[in-house]
Amino acid sequence: MTAAFGALLALVAGPATADAKAKKKYPVITSVRPMETNIGKTLTIKGKNFKRGRNRNTVLFKRDGARAVFVKADVGTAKLLKVKLPAKLESVLKQVNGSPSMTTFRLRVLSNRLGKAFTTLKRSPKVGPELPPAPPKIDDQSVTNPDGDCDGDGQKNGIDADDDNDLLSDAEEMGLKLDPCKADTDGDGVEDGYELRSAQDWNDDEYQAANGYLPYPSKRPYPNPLDGGDANTDHDGDTLTLKEEYDLWKFTVAHGAPRDLGQLSYSAGEQYSIYTRDAGGKRRPALAAAGYDKQAEFLGWADGAGYRTVEVSAVGADWFAARTPYDIRDADRSGAVEGTPNGGASAAETTYYDQNNDTRLSDEERDEDADGITNFDETGGCMSSQDYWSKLYDKETPYYLGYTGTRLDNPDTDGDGVRDGADDADHDDLPNLMECSRSLVTGIALEPHNLPTPDPGRLGALPNGFVNPYNPCLPSATSRSCNSHPTIGKGWAPYVADDQYYFVFN
């Protein structure tokens, strides 16, 4: 009896003693699964010295260069945690072409104590944005079932001529070996009808009479509904990928453009999707740069919101010193607003979006969301990401804060009520539109990357041109947001002596 009583005491005292010991130990993460997942999914963390119970452990998610996000673990044992990834993680995901993308997060657990360190990269998971909801499940997702409803539009397959609503008839799709019950046969995020029409546009050559040749959708170098790997390909050479042009087309449809396979408002097979045909059937670009309606819409918004005229301090002056009013398009600040045509903006500045100066707008030069920033500059140019500037000026040390880019299909990416062109990513009181191009600011011809640094005399004469929308110390180190005290050995432009400041290279 004495032995049995002693054993009972040991059972009761054991867990309490273990908990007491755990309170003195740091929580440790040994593995994370899965290593690549999405917001809304559940992450399983294995390790030791965790608290037992629901919501008793907190996991810190830390992206390099961003603040940590604290998330409660739904399930906790001494050696295992389960964490559902919340929507608030999206605010710190890295932006690629203006969209949230897969991001590596280092993890650390706060239990009885805070873990000693974040996980190494090898043990840090990648988290992407929340996946779209799965389509409603239908018992028989097959066009051969006349009583099914592939596209969920309430019309049975036996009656519906286009069962997947991709703008191609069932008969056309079966003839082309596409799936009549899937709007996106190859699963690349682009509808079959859009890909096929873009392929027709791409294959409609100009060196003979206009033709209506229909390419067979096998794996060829054109937009292809049977090639699941071409979504990120720019077939027509306008810098926009197949998926980006498809998203732009959907954006126009959502704002009143017809949803059909006539002349697409954005085609992945046309550099100039807005065109007319002459008597011989040849295409002629038709969207004039002068009077461009999206630019007029942006300027109309700027007039109403008070951003058409911006007040800018001189480079080198205190940020709280007197300011001069300029038209937001007057990038080189050649004339104050009062008494000057177009507020001092030159002809080149008023049509800055016509980047090749041919007086007609190609798809990448357009600004579909009317935020003052061209489609190109939001996908691969000045406002696409901080990484763009780091690569363009790879001998200038980037600023330490990771500012995010703008979105192609959202005029107000950060939701603060200010359209992206008039907004100020680095908060240096110079709007993004005035920091988008060193060439536009200076008027100096483009220079190859390997030329020597421009002479100091020219550099000093054009201080306004040293712009960077992701560095608040450029062009003015006296801006209200520039950190003017870089630590020893860790600086940023213009405080790094070894940097080579190429004045104009766009």
The yes-or-no verdict on residue 195 having pLDDT over 70 is yes
The yes-or-no verdict on residue 30 having pLDDT over 60 is yes
The yes-or-no verdict on residue 253 having pLDDT over 70 is yes
Weakest-pLDDT range from 152-156, 168-172, 313-317, 348-352: 152-156
- Residue boundaries of the structural domains of the chain: 22-128
Kind of pairing between the strands at 126-128 and 36-38:
parallel
Q: SS3 letters for 242-282?
A: HHHHHHHHHHHHHCCCCCCCCCCCCCCCCCCCCEEECCCCC
- Name 3's bridge partners: none
Of 74, 75, 105, which Cα lies nearest the Cα of 89?
Answer: 105
Q: 146 to each of 140, 143, 172, 295, how far by Cα in Å?
A: 10, 7, 18, 49
pLDDT range class, residue 445, cuts 50, 70, 90: low
Between 504 and 176, name the one with better pLDDT: 176
Distance of alpha carbon 389 from alpha carbon 387, whole angstroms: 5
- Name 70's bridge partners: 60
Domain range 22-128, CATH class: mainly beta
* pTM exceeds 0.85 for this model: no
Question: DSSP character for 96?
Answer: E
Q: 227 and 215 in contact (C-beta within 8 Å)?
A: no
Q: Residues 320-348: what's their mean pLDDT?
A: 81
Distance of alpha carbon 86 from alpha carbon 40, whole angstroms: 6
User: What rounded mean pLDDT belongs to the chain?
Assistant: 86
Distance of alpha carbon 228 from alpha carbon 218, whole angstroms: 11
Task: Give the contacts of 193 (CB within 8 A, at least 6 positions apart).
Answer: 166, 167, 168, 261
Q: Residues 331-335: what's their mean pLDDT?
A: 84
Between 6 and 260, name the one with better pLDDT: 260
pLDDT at position 139, please?
Answer: 44
Q: For residue 249, which amino acid is it?
A: W
Between 501 and 420, name the one with better pLDDT: 420
pLDDT at position 458, please?
Answer: 46
Between 138 and 144, name the one with better pLDDT: 144
DSSP string, 99-112: EE--EE-EEEEESS
The yes-or-no verdict on residue 343 having pLDDT over 60 is yes
